[in-house]
């Protein structure tokens, strides 16, 4: 009986380590189709971004670490995005106006979408913000990075170029 309890406990621990949010897609798996609802402009399908590697940043306007890294994501996008990968932001805000205002004030030029129904938040496993997800050109998740970082630092540029197998220096 004791062995059964220990075994069930280990199984539960392993399952919780794999699934952080309902429907979360694991690293190495392909993202399913999802609707992207634009903060400004028209909606898009996630599959429309295939063909190039993709950096997805999941953020919220009320999230201090999200706000602090947004400028460095913009600089990474402006400097390297045209050389082989796309960048999008996904807001988890409930308030469309607050998210749109943050994008306008921050001055970012990459596309940003809102996820009020938590579909993308759950698919990507965004139980903590910010979350940055690196996706290959076929839509498979390569890496998930939780927490704020300077995306235009040499370390982050190296991470992105290695993950996407790009030669952008």
Q: Which residue has the higher pLDDT, 114 or 14?
A: 114
Could you read off the pLDDT of 100-141 as tens digits, one per residue?
999 999 999 999 999 988 999 999 999 999 999 999 999 999
| In the chain, domain spans | 2-164
Adjacency order of strands within the sheet including 141-146? 44-45, 35-38, 111-114, 86-91, 54-59, 131-135, 141-146
Residue 91 to residues 31, 34, 120, Cα–Cα distance (Å): 18, 15, 10
Per-residue pLDDT at 19: 54
State whether CATH 3.40.30.10 applies to domain 2-164: yes
Reply yes or no on whether the pLDDT at 1 is more than 60: no
pTM for this entry: 0.86
């Amino acid at each position: 009986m004791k062995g059964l309890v220990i075994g069930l406990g280990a199984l539960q621990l392993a399952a919780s380590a794999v699934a952080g949010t309902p429907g979360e897609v694991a690293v190495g798996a392909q993202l399913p189709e999802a609707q992207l609802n634009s903060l400004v402009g028209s909606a898009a399908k996630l599959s429309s971004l295939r063909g190039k590697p993709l950096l997805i940043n999941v953020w919220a306007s009320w999230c201090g670490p999200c706000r602090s890294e947004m400028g460095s994501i913009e600089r990474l996008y402006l400097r390297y995005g045209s050389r082989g990968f796309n960048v999008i932001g996904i807001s988890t805000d409930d308030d469309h106006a607050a998210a749109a205002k943050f994008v306008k004030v921050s001055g970012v030029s990459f596309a940003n979408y809102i996820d009020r129904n938590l579909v993308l938040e759950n698919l990507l496993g965004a139980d903590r913000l910010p979350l940055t997800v690196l996706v290959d050109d076929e839509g498979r998740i390569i890496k998930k990075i939780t927490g704020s970082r300077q995306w235009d630092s040499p370390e982050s540029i190296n991470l992105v170029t290695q993950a996407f197998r790009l030669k952008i220096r």
